Amino acid sequence: MRKTIVVATRNKGKAAEFREMLAPLGYEVLSLLDMPDSAAPDVVEDGATFAANAEKKARSAAAALGRPALADDSGLVVDALDGAPGVYSARYAGENADDARNNEKLLRELAARGERREDVAPGAAALSAARFVCALALHDPETNETTFAEGACEGFILDEARGAGGFGYDPLFYSPALGKTFGEATPEEKHRLSHRGQALRAMAEKLRT
């Protein structure tokens, strides 16, 4: 019998990534998109860290649904912006901001800093070193135990978007290891190197044991 994990997100991109990586381990992966809107309440992400926000979301969903819930909090940490947008990545340009507005604000803030490197990506300038960070929390309501895993990947923010894949800041995030942005990468390439992919592999290893 397959085990079921509910991913506490209504983000289609995240839900797809979790499903692609956990399904091969024998898990049926659902998300809040598969549940009635009233099944799990929205959670105010007011934690000071990615891990705190992930745990809060996982506990809330698990309590509401009565089954194990996996939540992530992830974001972009930009050196030239002293770590911003950080835990505010999804709402960097405001509570109802979409990816385009967040990306526009990021480029505007970095342009104001005036830092540029021409030796990172062919045909584009790198405005800052940056990293994607992901914290995962899996809460089991039967045991009241929470399991954590984290991942991070290093790269640079380019002065232009490249690629139409991924979501969020992916088209601006250049991975030297791939030689392209996450927006240009295939799902397999991104999973292999991404912060979420690393965190999911770490969580998968814990699930195996």
Residues placed in the known binding site for Mg(2+): 73
Pairing of strands 117-121, 3-7: unpaired
Angstrom distance (rounded) from CA 172 to CA 169: 6
- What's the CA gap between 11 and 39, in Å, rounded? 16
Report CA-CA distances (Å) from 60 to 13, 40, 43, 113, 150: 21, 7, 7, 39, 20
Sequence ranges of the binding site:
9-14, 73-74, 167-170, 190, 195-196
Query: At 150, which helix (H) or strand (E)?
Result: strand 145-158
Q: Which residues are documented as binding site for substrate?
A: 9-14, 74, 167-170, 190, 195-196
**Which residue in the list 42, 46, 73, 159 is annotated as catalytic?**
73
CB-based contacts of 42, cutoff 8 Å, min separation 6: none
- Respond yes or no: is residue 73 known to be catalytic: yes
Catalytic residue positions, numbered: 73
